[in-house]
Chain A
Amino acid sequence: MSDLAARLAAGRGAIVRNQAFWGVIAIAALLAINVVADPGYLSVGYNGETGRLSGNLIDILRAAAPILMIAVGMCLVVATGGIDLSVGSIMVVAGAVSMELLRGMDGSAGNAALTLAIALGIATALGAVNGFLVSVVGLQPFISTLVMMLAGRGIAKVITGGQNTTADNDSFAWLANGYVVGVPVVFLLAIAIVALVWLLVRRSALGLMLEAIGMDSRASRLAGVKRRSLQLTVYSVSGLLAGIAGVFATASVMTVDVSRTGYQLELDAILAVVIGGTSLAGGKFSIGGAVIGGLLIATLDKTVVFLGIPASATPAFKAIVIVVLCLLQSERVRSLFRHRRALRAQSQKEAVAA
Chain B
Amino acid sequence: MTVTTRPPTGSAPGPTPSRPSLADRLGARLSALPTVAALLIFVGMIIYGEAAYGRIVQFNTLSNLLVNNSHLIILAVGLTFVILTGGIDLSVGAVIAFSSVAGVMLSNAGWHPMAAVLVMVLIGSVLGLISGVLIQYFGVQPFIATLATMFLARGLASMLSTVPERLADDSAIRDLATQLKIIDGEKVNDLVITPGVVAAIVIVVLGFLVLHRTRFGRTVYAIGGSEQSATLMGLPVPATKLGIYVISGTLAGIAAVVYTSRLGSAQNITGIGWELDAIAAVVIGGTLLTGGTGFVLGSVVGALVLGLMNVLITRDGGIRPEMTTIITGGILLVFVILQRVLARRRSETG
Task: Report which A residues bind B (CB closer than 8 A).
Answer: 80-83, 133-134, 137-144, 146-151, 153-155, 157-158, 161-162, 217-218, 231, 264, 267, 270-271, 274, 279-282, 310, 312-320, 322-323, 326-327, 330-333
Q: Does B148 contact A142, Cβ atoms closer than 8 Å?
A: no
- Tell me the chain B residues, 325-344 only, with Cβ under 8 Å from chain A: 325-330, 332-333, 336-337, 340
For A133, A281, A318, A332, which residue has the most chain B Cβ atoms within 10 angstroms?
A318
Q: Does A143 contact B332, Cβ atoms closer than 8 Å?
A: yes
Q: How far is the CA of A234 from the CA of B83 in the complex (A)?
A: 27
Q: Does B138 contact A330, Cβ atoms closer than 8 Å?
A: yes
Task: Work out how many contacts link A and B, with CB atoms closer than 8 A.
Answer: 149
Q: Does B280 contact A146, Cβ atoms closer than 8 Å?
A: yes
For B155, B159, B340, B348, which residue has the most chain A Cβ atoms within 10 angstroms?
B155
Q: How far is the CA of A323 from the CA of B151 in the complex (A)?
A: 11
Q: Does A154 contact B155, Cβ atoms closer than 8 Å?
A: no
Q: Does A138 contact B336, Cβ atoms closer than 8 Å?
A: no
Q: Does A150 contact B332, Cβ atoms closer than 8 Å?
A: yes
Q: Does A143 contact B289, Cβ atoms closer than 8 Å?
A: yes
Q: Does A319 contact B151, Cβ atoms closer than 8 Å?
A: yes
B6 contacts the other chain (CB 8 A) = no
B106 contacts the other chain (CB 8 A) = no
Q: List 10 A-B contacts (CB under 8 A).
A: A80-B350, A140-B350, A142-B88, A146-B276, A150-B276, A154-B322, A157-B322, A310-B158, A312-B155, A332-B139
Chain B binding surface, main DSSP class:
helix
User: Given A150-B326, A313-B155, A323-B134 in contact, is the A142-B289 Cβ separation under 8 Å?
Assistant: yes
Contacts of A83 in B (CB 8 A): 143
Q: How far is the CA of A141 from the CA of B349 in the complex (A)?
A: 9
User: Given A143-B289, A150-B276, A312-B158 in contact, is the A326-B148 Cβ separation under 8 Å?
Assistant: yes
- Closest approach, in angstroms, between the C-beta of B284 and any C-beta of chain A? 11
Q: How far is the CA of A181 from the CA of B256 in the complex (A)?
A: 53
- Closest approach, in angstroms, between the C-beta of B178 and any C-beta of chain A? 33
Q: Does B143 contact A280, Cβ atoms closer than 8 Å?
A: yes
- Closest approach, in angstroms, between the C-beta of A30 and any C-beta of chain B? 16
- Tell me the chain B residues, 136-179 only, with Cβ under 8 Å from chain A: 137-141, 143-145, 147-152, 154-156, 158-159, 162
Q: How far is the CA of A327 from the CA of B145 in the complex (A)?
A: 11
Q: Does B325 contact A154, Cβ atoms closer than 8 Å?
A: yes
Contacts of B333 in A (CB 8 A): 133, 147
B324 contacts the other chain (CB 8 A) = yes
Contacts of B144 in A (CB 8 A): 270, 274, 280, 322, 326
Contacts of A82 in B (CB 8 A): 350
Contacts of B323 in A (CB 8 A): 154, 158
Q: How far is the CA of A279 from the CA of B140 in the complex (A)?
A: 10
Q: How far is the CA of A157 from the CA of B320 in the complex (A)?
A: 10
Q: How far is the CA of A316 from the CA of B134 in the complex (A)?
A: 16
Q: How far is the CA of A320 from the CA of B323 in the complex (A)?
A: 37
Q: Does B148 contact A319, Cβ atoms closer than 8 Å?
A: yes
Contacts of A157 in B (CB 8 A): 322, 325
Chain A: CB-nearest residue to B332: A147
Q: Does A270 contact B139, Cβ atoms closer than 8 Å?
A: no
Q: How far is the CA of A147 from the CA of B158 in the complex (A)?
A: 28
Contacts of A151 in B (CB 8 A): 325-326, 329-330
User: Given A150-B325, A150-B326, A158-B322 in contact, is the A322-B337 Cβ separation under 8 Å?
Assistant: no
Contacts of A140 in B (CB 8 A): 289-290, 336, 349-350
Q: Does A314 contact B141, Cβ atoms closer than 8 Å?
A: no
Contacts of A154 in B (CB 8 A): 322-327, 329
Chain B: CB-nearest residue to A158: B322
Q: Given A157-B322, A280-B143, list of 10 further CB < 8 A pairs? A: A143-B289, A146-B329, A155-B326, A158-B322, A162-B322, A316-B152, A316-B156, A319-B150, A326-B148, A330-B138
User: Given A139-B340, A312-B158, A312-B268 in contact, is the A330-B320 Cβ separation under 8 Å?
Assistant: no
Contacts of B349 in A (CB 8 A): 81, 140, 217
Chain A: CB-nearest residue to B88: A142
Q: Does B151 contact A315, Cβ atoms closer than 8 Å?
A: yes
For B148, B149, B150, B321, which residue has the most chain A Cβ atoms within 10 angstroms?
B148
Contacts of B332 in A (CB 8 A): 143, 146-147, 150
B279 contacts the other chain (CB 8 A) = yes
Chain A: CB-nearest residue to B276: A146
Q: How far is the CA of A314 from the CA of B85 in the complex (A)?
A: 31
Q: Does A310 contact B329, Cβ atoms closer than 8 Å?
A: no
Q: How far is the CA of A21 from the CA of B265 in the complex (A)?
A: 44
Q: How far is the CA of A231 from the CA of B350 in the complex (A)?
A: 10
Q: Does B147 contact A267, Cβ atoms closer than 8 Å?
A: yes
Q: Does B322 contact A315, Cβ atoms closer than 8 Å?
A: no
Interchain residue pairs A-B with the least CB separation, the first 8: A316-B155, A157-B322, A154-B326, A151-B329, A319-B152, A315-B151, A150-B329, A312-B158
For A138, A282, A310, which residue has the most chain B Cβ atoms within 10 angstroms?
A138
Q: Does B158 contact A316, Cβ atoms closer than 8 Å?
A: yes
B283 contacts the other chain (CB 8 A) = yes
Q: How far is the CA of A319 from the CA of B139 in the complex (A)?
A: 16
Contacts of B327 in A (CB 8 A): 154
